[in-house]
Amino acid sequence: MTNNVEGNTYLVDGQQRLTSLTLILIKLYRMSKEFDEELSDWIGSCICGHSGKKSNFWMNHEGCQDVLKNLYDSGSASISDNARITERNIVQNYKYVSDYIDANISGGDVKRYEAFVYYFLRRVVVIRLDVSQTDVPMVFEVINDRGVKLKPYEILKGKLLGQVNKKELDELKLNDLWDNQVEKINNYAADEIDQFFIYYLKSKFADVQSGGKQFDNNYHRAIMDLSQLGLNHNEVKVKSFLRNEFNYYTDLYLRLLKFRMELVAGFESVYYNSLNKMNQQILLILSACKIKDPEETEKIQIVSREMDRFFCLLTLQQAYESNSFGRIIYEISSKIRNGSIDSIRPAFDEALISLLKEAKGESNVQYVWNYNYFRNAGYSSCSRQFLRYVLARLDQFLCNSTKTKMRYDFKKMASSGKAFHVEHILSDNEANRNLFLDAEGVPDGALFSQERNRLGGLLVLKGPDNQSSSNELYQDKLKTYSGTLLWNESLREDLYKSNKDLSSWIEANKINMHSMSSFGREELEERHKLLFELFSKIWA
């Protein structure tokens, strides 16, 4: 599909097909030099025309002429590290074409080669449809609704770039801008750019969850209907969108993808949220940042920290419910969109209190962190992964506060259920069950089960350590806790001997942390309250 602008013919659709045909023809042309020189002119005329000594390729890839010429002249081409995407693809795909044809026309079989040349040049039919400039986006989408469908972002590219005057498209390098950003994002995951557009559109144009659903499946259509962007039949708006919104927010998205994959100093919370599959943080960060935001870094840090706090405090207070959580994300987004840093914490706190009221059926909730809601948090109310995560965060906090190096890698501790297990301090045995009596002094199995599962009675151990202490009495388990997490060792008396940094921190912060020679119902309650206090410090 082509259109004509000021005497030049431009491709609207079919670039991949014609590029593939050109690469096949170049390969056949190079083979003609070896097999049948008489076919060279015929094949060559399908690849390029000649003006004096200069060859003009019919498939005129802007900026890729040197690569095509090297392939045409010698059958090989080298590219630099900063080569354009199209150049790299052309060289890579030529090798694929070359290897395939060599494998099927081998051993100098001239007859087989000639038969294929005649078949290819006589039987492949190219049909050209010429459309006017104003019809390009519509025709492009209609054609790609048939046959093998393009990806949504590929259709969107055609609908946007198809509106721009071809000279300006080249001068502003909009095609390169699109391809470079798409390639960098898709390097993280196949078609990740589609996810970017969904997050971006929801962050900027959806105030409620139902409004965000329009972008889930056909965002490439919905974006063209947004009056706020005005991209439909508006070349000026398209150019502005690509150079501003698209360019800025894809760069921001790339930063977030990096921080999601690895722990980067200053951006740890982005990684923490990724561990807990709280990817809605991306929607909220995109929402908070305006184009070329001078506070971008601070907003990434603050929104990601607030998201981690929001999710953890909800879960620890047994108030997390996925549907309500998904709904309220849009309320937060609408309150922090393009706003100041000062608006972020209040928006999260308001949402947190709203969900606590909803989950607890109480209208007078005033605080985001309540011990009564936290009291029964533990093995029965939280996932194993979340328990490992919060206890890893606790150990990290204790080590940082007391200038102690963590004994285990945080990422492995928080994410590997095979390497690290959740440990019950109170093993399920008769001696421990006898510690939990009902009003009549009789061992209460239900009470024991409920209490031993509370977070104050849980630790994280490496797999072999947990297995070796699975049914031991508490005094024996204390030996196993030596040399493990600092939180585990805080039960042992020898941790506090000659540990000035720990003692100073405990005294300065008035922390009720001490060793426990026995462990029963009262000790478990004390540890659970200590956790409440420590989590208050971690999540402020």
Tens of pLDDT, residue by residue over 85-135, are 788 889 999 999 999 998 888 666 888 889 999 999 999 988 888 877 666
pLDDT above 70 for 335: yes
Mean pLDDT of 169-183: 93
Hey, CA dihedral for 423, 429, 434, 440, is it positive or negative? positive
pLDDT of residue 53: 67
CA geometry: angle at 34 spanning 29 and 35, to 5°? 85
Q: Where are the alpha helices (DSSP H) in 48-84?
A: 65-74
pLDDT above 80 for 144: no
pLDDT of residue 536: 96
pLDDT above 80 for 192: yes
pTM, to two decimals: 0.80
Percentage of the chain beyond pLDDT 90 is 69
pLDDT band at 379 (very low <50, low <70, confident <90, very high): very high
pLDDT of residue 143: 64
Q: How far apart are CA 35 and CA 108, in angstroms?
A: 7
Picking from 116, 109, 139, the residue whose alpha carbon sits closest to that of residue 12 is 139
Q: How far apart are CA 187 and CA 85, in angstroms?
A: 12
Mean pLDDT of 53-77: 81
Q: How far apart are CA 41 and CA 59, in angstroms?
A: 17
Mean pLDDT of the chain: 90
CA geometry: angle at 404 spanning 418 and 419, to 5°? 5
190, with CB counted inside 10 A (0-12, 13-18, 19+), is exposed
pLDDT of residue 66: 84
Phi-psi region at 56: left, alpha or beta (left = phi > 0; alpha = psi -120 to 50): beta
How distant, in Å, are the alpha carbons of 12, 326, 347 from that of 334? 38, 14, 9
Q: Where are the alpha helices (DSSP H) in 264-375?
A: 268-275, 280-288, 296-316, 322-336, 344-360, 371-374
Q: How far apart are CA 394 and CA 392, in angstroms?
A: 5
Question: Which DSSP letter does residue 461 get?
Answer: E
pLDDT above 80 for 83: no
- Return the structure tokens found at 480: 């196993």
Q: How far apart are CA 299 and CA 338, in angstroms?
A: 10
pLDDT above 80 for 54: no
Mean pLDDT of 184-189: 94
Residue 232 near residue 134 (C-beta atoms within 8 A): no
Identify the weakest region by mean pLDDT among 11-15, 205-209, 358-362. 11-15
pLDDT of residue 104: 86
pLDDT of residue 395: 96
101 contact partners, CB below 8 Å, separation of at least 6? 24, 27, 28, 31, 116
Identify the weakest region by mean pLDDT among 287-296, 340-349, 424-433. 424-433
pLDDT above 80 for 326: yes
pLDDT of residue 348: 98
Tens of pLDDT, residue by residue over 434-469, are 999 988 889 999 999 999 999 999 999 997 665 555
Sequence ranges of the domains in the chain: 2-130, 163-261, 269-374, 380-538
